[in-house]
Structure 1
């Protein structure tokens, strides 16, 4: 099984945090979003992962020079071959997949690195394909599918009138990467664009009309990482899942001086907590120091210094320094408020 991860977007809605770190590499509860995404997929497909191919943007679009190395390290954690491709121009969801054409063979999962999910179903690898979906209250904001006897009969992009509440979350299984590539190639060769982009929904509909039978994989939790508040909520939900699974995310070398940790929390290596109350639902990455502070429901990255703070619903980037009593802050990398 191969996993294709298009992640070439610059993540502008999550700025300032994505000015120095690509959104899929933002750390949630101690792990990059894209690593957690691959873990979620691996738990569902229950197949050996042969290759993980990442599609990123160019350095001109703000992707740091070490992005490739970090992604290859993630693939290595799964014992898989790692490949990194560059999408130089934003030409749509199908075009992003096309950039990884050299890796499109055999069974593959395509997963856009915008969301995390939890699912309790087993993927039927004998189906032609599967689309991960989630029931939503406002289907008009999403691409949705219609079902008949468990088989997808239609794909509708942002329907104005109600046709279905099963929203496509951006994760797909294809039994044949070759057939997927051939259909995308047809779109590109014939310049078949929608809103000036090559859309994956058009590829799916074409495959369906040719007889491919797509099933749905329903998820129990769909977590968005597009903006600050949803990302903090994703951190909260992830901590809850880890806690319920019995996983301890507090490093053994955390220094506690007159401080309290209220679970669930992630506290990384070499973190020092002095005269502080941390949690619940707080992630603090490695080499950070918190003094005389109370922090709840917040996401703190590595090498951060916080003092005299009362934080809730806060997101603070790497190497930041914060001293104050503001709440609901969003502070990017290397920022100092002292």
Structure 2
């Protein structure tokens, strides 16, 4: 089994945090989004994951090395491919053509999920879905009376189904998927909305006789902007709170109150502060004289006299003041106490 993870987008809605770090590498409760995504997928399948192929933009060698390290931590080979132009979901997948054969899972790296089912590898294909209030913003599936998908629709203007495609798919025959995408890319006439869409490929495969079923998730968590990323961090901390009870030995907490659930990284210093609930603090960060809840703070950052809630602060940032609900990017300084 292989996992294909397209992640070439710049994550403009999550700026300033994605100006220096690709969105899939933003940490949620101590782990990058893409690491958590790959981890969650491996739990759904009884088959060994042999390779994880990442499709990126021009993010640099450090990012590529980090991605390969993530794959290796999950016991798989890591491969990195590049998408130079944003030509749609099918085009993104095809950049990893050399890794697409046999059974494959395709997972777009801008979402996390929770699901309580095992992947049916006997099915021709599985499409992960979630019931949503407004399906017009998503690709959706229409089911027959046996629960098999009989139609794929891309952002329907009129109501057809409330089962939104969350961006994770299983294909029993990766080679067939690859060949169908290759046919789609052969002509610009096949574009929909100016892009080569995966839903077009799914509809063709279904017409050719493949049967797709659905995998319904219990939680679908977005990481598209600061607000929902902080909310996703809160949910993950709640799901895995038993894993975060111990403060690492390398970290120091003095004259402070930690209210669970919280993730505290290595070499963190917390003094004269109240932290939590629902706070993640990355390695090497120092917090003093502060009150912080429902926030995501990354690595090697300094906070003094902060009174923060629903906030997201990047790496190597410095914050001094009393403001609440902020979004501060990497290497930034915000000082409300300066004159």
Report the TM-score when normalising by structure 1: 0.97
Cα-Cα RMSD: 1.0
Contact 2:293 2:309 in 1 (8 A): yes
Alignment partners' CA distance in 1, 2:168 and 2:248? 32
Alignment partners' CA distance in 2, 1:154 and 1:16? 39
Say whether residues 1:258 and 2:252 are aligned partners.
no
* Of 66, 70, 77, the match for 1:70: 66
Corresponding position of 2:265: 268
Alignment partners' CA distance in 1, 2:169 and 2:100? 13
Structure 2's unaligned 5+ residue stretches are: none
Contact 2:126 2:170 in 1 (8 A): yes
Alignment partners' CA distance in 1, 2:32 and 2:318? 22
| Offset at residue 257 of structure 1 (A) | 1.1
| Offset at residue 247 of structure 1 (A) | 5.0
| Offset at residue 251 of structure 1 (A) | 1.9
Corresponding position of 2:150: 153
| Offset at residue 254 of structure 1 (A) | 2.2
Change (3 A) 1:249 1:241: farther
Corresponding position of 1:2: 2
| Offset at residue 105 of structure 1 (A) | 0.2
Alignment partners' CA distance in 2, 1:162 and 1:254? 52
| Offset at residue 302 of structure 1 (A) | 0.3
- Secondary structure of 1:266's counterpart equals strand
Number of matched pairs: 333
Corresponding position of 1:279: 276
Contact 1:261 1:279 in 2 (8 A): yes
Contact 1:21 1:64 in 2 (8 A): no
| Offset at residue 91 of structure 1 (A) | 0.7
Corresponding position of 1:45: 45
Contact 2:245 2:260 in 1 (8 A): no
Alignment partners' CA distance in 1, 2:306 and 2:248? 23
Change (3 A) 1:8 1:273: same
Q: Cα deviations across residues 262-305 of structure 1 (Å, max 9, x unaligned)?
A: 00000001111110000000000011110000000000000010
| Offset at residue 231 of structure 1 (A) | 0.3
Alignment partners' CA distance in 1, 2:204 and 2:45? 25
Alignment partners' CA distance in 2, 1:249 and 1:141? 41
- Secondary structure of 2:91's counterpart equals helix
Say whether residues 1:28 and 2:28 are aligned partners.
yes
Alignment partners' CA distance in 2, 1:248 and 1:73? 26
* Of 98, 103, 108, the match for 2:104: 108
Corresponding position of 2:139: 143
- Secondary structure of 1:91's counterpart equals coil
Say whether residues 1:179 and 2:176 are aligned partners.
yes
| Offset at residue 32 of structure 1 (A) | 0.5
| Offset at residue 248 of structure 1 (A) | 3.4
| Offset at residue 78 of structure 1 (A) | 1.1
Structure 1's unaligned 5+ residue stretches are: none
| Offset at residue 249 of structure 1 (A) | 5.9
Report the TM-score when normalising by structure 2: 0.97
- Secondary structure of 2:18's counterpart equals helix
Say whether residues 1:329 and 2:338 are aligned partners.
no
- Trace 1:80-229 onto structure 2 (pairs within 5 A): 80-148=76-144, 149-191=146-188, 192-229=190-227
Corresponding position of 1:240: 238
Contact 1:250 1:265 in 2 (8 A): no
- Secondary structure of 1:47's counterpart equals coil
| Offset at residue 46 of structure 1 (A) | 2.5
Change (3 A) 1:80 1:114: same
